[in-house]
């Protein structure tokens, strides 16, 4: 467990990546109580200088000896490196908040979204898991609704931005869009496709397209990303038997994931009741004036901390159903911000 201090020694694993950069920005924005900040990455980033509170900090190579004197580790270096290095951090006395999938379904590791299950933080044995980005934004409105009527079933379709797959995938989308922008469209087959040499990281062209395929397919024909949403939702909500099904889609958007969420509750919840309970829940902003064309969209959500919910309406196909449209910045609440909120609660509860 963390020892109580006024300020803490913090290490960021994967400091030069997209989430690592967000860690730096958000730690500064929230004036996190840092005494010493250590930036860790692979050998190819060693010596690179990053700015924190106006000062340059050199990136160090991540090794098993990197954690001496470190109190809190914010990890976003991938599952393999978390599995390899976080045990050394725990052995050195640090508490680790891991953004990878490495420990999420480990029974000994709490999986935490602070607005939903902050109390699970106290059960950590040195590692706390940060959930998948698409799961994080969904469980906030689920928790708000579940507080007034237990949820029986969840059907979710995600529309996930390219940044969720990494910065290089964003660049691939841009490269394809630039090439297509130079073509004259005659509305013929093939006018809106790119050459195969621009398809490197995604399975198919992403520019002006959607791909219903995130991560690898499993034997049951669901993708690993879809199964993550099922299992993580059950664990975070502490509802192991709740029925959840997901379809995860990659869309040509820079930042922020969107989700169409349909739920069935035990008792009837009206649209007005849902708006009231969602609007009162910490971390949620309701944007729902459809006749004024006001609803959450990715371009309005970039850089924002809250989860935005709109298009709230009763599902007329079943007795106790609700539909919601849920949008959040996948690099902030979906990753770095949630991890830092966990660290803040960890300090508060120490």
Q: How far is CA 20 from the centre of its chain?
A: 13
Q: Distance of CA 57 to CAs 10, 16, 51, 137, 259, Å?
A: 13, 12, 6, 32, 38
User: Do 123 and 215 belong together in one domain?
Assistant: no
Q: Which pLDDT score is estimated for 195?
A: 84
User: Do 251 and 340 belong together in one domain?
Assistant: no
User: Do 312 and 279 belong together in one domain?
Assistant: yes
How many domains is the chain built from? Answer: 2
Query: Is-catalytic flag, 96?
Result: no
- For 107-123, the pLDDT digits (tens) are 999 999 999 999 999 99
Residue with structure tokens 């300090």? 347
Structure tokens at 91: 């052995």
Instruction: Check 96, 186, 192, 257 and give the catalytic one.
Output: 257
328: enclosing H helix or E strand: strand 321-328
Q: Which pLDDT score is estimated for 72?
A: 98
| Residue 202 included in any domain | no
| Residue 189 included in any domain | no
Here the CATH number for the domain that contains residue 220 is 3.30.360.10
User: Do 33 and 51 belong together in one domain?
Assistant: yes
| Residue 295 included in any domain | yes
- For 27-40, the pLDDT digits (tens) are 999 999 999 999 99
Can you list the residues of the chain whose pLDDT is less than 70?
183-190
This prediction has a pTM of: 0.95
Cα-based torsion angle of the residue sequence 34, 40, 45, 50 in order, rounded to the nearest 10 degrees = 0
Q: Which pLDDT score is estimated for 184?
A: 60
Instruction: Check 96, 133, 192, 204 and give the catalytic one.
Output: 133
- Measured CA to CA, the distance from residue 47 to residue 44 in angstroms comes to 9
- Measured CA to CA, the distance from residue 62 to residue 51 in angstroms comes to 19
Query: Is-catalytic flag, 133?
Result: yes
* DSSP one-letter string for 253-282: -SS-EEEEEEEEESS---HHHHHHHHHTST
Which residue segment(s) compose the domain that 314 sits in? 135-161+210-329
Q: Distance of CA 137 to CAs 134, 158, 200, 216, 275, Å?
A: 6, 11, 29, 22, 17
């Amino acid at each position: 467990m963390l020892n109580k201090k006024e300020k803490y020694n913090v290490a960021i694993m994967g400091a030069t990546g997209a989430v690592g950069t967000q860690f730096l920005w958000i730690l500064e924005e929230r004036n996190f109580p840092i005494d010493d900040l250590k930036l860790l990455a692979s050998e190819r980033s060693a010596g690179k200088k990053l700015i924190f509170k106006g000062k340059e900090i050199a990136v160090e190579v991540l090794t098993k000896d990197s954690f001496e004197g470190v109190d809190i580790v914010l990890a976003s270096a991938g599952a393999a490196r978390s599995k390899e290095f976080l045990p050394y951090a725990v052995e050195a006395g640090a508490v680790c908040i891991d953004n990878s999938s490495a420990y999420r379904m480990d029974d000994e590791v709490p999986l935490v979204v602070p607005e939903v299950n902050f109390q699970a933080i106290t059960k950590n044995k040195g590692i706390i898991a940060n959930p998948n980005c698409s799961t994080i934004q969904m469980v906030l409105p689920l928790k708000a609704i579940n507080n007034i009527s237990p949820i029986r079933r969840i059907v979710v379709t995600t529309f996930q931005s390219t940044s969720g797959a990494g910065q290089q995938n964003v660049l691939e989308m841009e490269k394809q869009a630039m090439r297509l922008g130079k073509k004259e469209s005659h509305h013929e087959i093939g006018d809106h496709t790119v050459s195969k040499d621009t398809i490197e990281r995604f399975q198919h062209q992403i520019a002006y397209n959607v791909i219903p395929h995130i991560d690898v397919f499993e034997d049951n024909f669901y993708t690993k990303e879809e199964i993550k949403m099922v299992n993580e939702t059950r664990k975070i909500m502490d509802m192991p038997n709740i029925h959840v099904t997901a379809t995860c889609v990659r869309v040509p958007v820079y930042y922020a994931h969107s989700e169409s969420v349909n739920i069935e509750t035990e008792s009837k919840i009206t649209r007005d009741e849902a708006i009231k309970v969602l609007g009162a829940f910490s971390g949620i902003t309701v944007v729902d004036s459809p006749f004024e064309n006001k609803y959450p969209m990715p371009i309005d959500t970039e850089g924002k901390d809250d989860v935005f919910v709109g298009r709230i309406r009763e599902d007329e196909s079943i007795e106790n159903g609700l539909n919601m449209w849920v949008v959040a910045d996948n690099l902030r609440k979906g990753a770095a911000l949630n991890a830092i909120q966990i660290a803040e609660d960890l300090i508060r509860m120490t």
